Amino acid sequence: MRAGKMVHVIEIQRASATISPAGTPLQTWAKVATLRAEIVEQGTEEFLRNAGDTSETTLVFRTRHLDGITDEDRVSFDGGAYDIDRLVPIGRRRGLEIRCRENRP
């Protein structure tokens, strides 16, 4: 893993539940870590969903190893939020490959 290829900055975020002043539960995202990463793969897949055309953006980031990241977390990158689909360890705690898809509300 070469530091010179890690030119992008990503933020790992974790969901937390809070209560609004009106008493309703809200889901907010808190920053867990800010990491330098390399984009390994980027693509857009088009397919039919609910009888309509949609496209889904997928990204694969490669970064240094960080304990505690799960697929319940998300990645914030370049103004967008991406749900983590899969975490693939690289070596023995050397690095981490984070496979994500664009978060659609």
Handedness of CA 92, 99, 42, 6 (dihedral sign): negative
The pLDDT tens digits for 2-26 are 767 788 999 999 999 888 888 899 9
Please tell me the predicted confidence (pLDDT) of residue 4. Answer: 75
The total of structural domains in the chain comes to: 1
Phi and psi angles of residue 84, each rounded to the nearest 5 degrees, phi first: -80, 120
CATH number at residue 9: 2.40.10.270
Q: Does pTM top 0.85 for this prediction?
A: no
The pLDDT tens digits for 75-103 are 999 999 999 999 999 988 899 999 998 87
Please tell me the predicted confidence (pLDDT) of residue 76. Answer: 95
How many CB atoms are closer than 10 A to CB 2? 6
The pLDDT tens digits for 25-57 are 998 999 999 999 999 876 665 544 555 555 677
Q: Which residue range is the domain that position 67 belongs to? A: 3-102
Question: Cα–Cα distance between 8 and 78 in angstroms, integer?
Answer: 9
Q: Cβ neighbours of residue 79 under 8 Å, at least 6 residues apart?
A: none
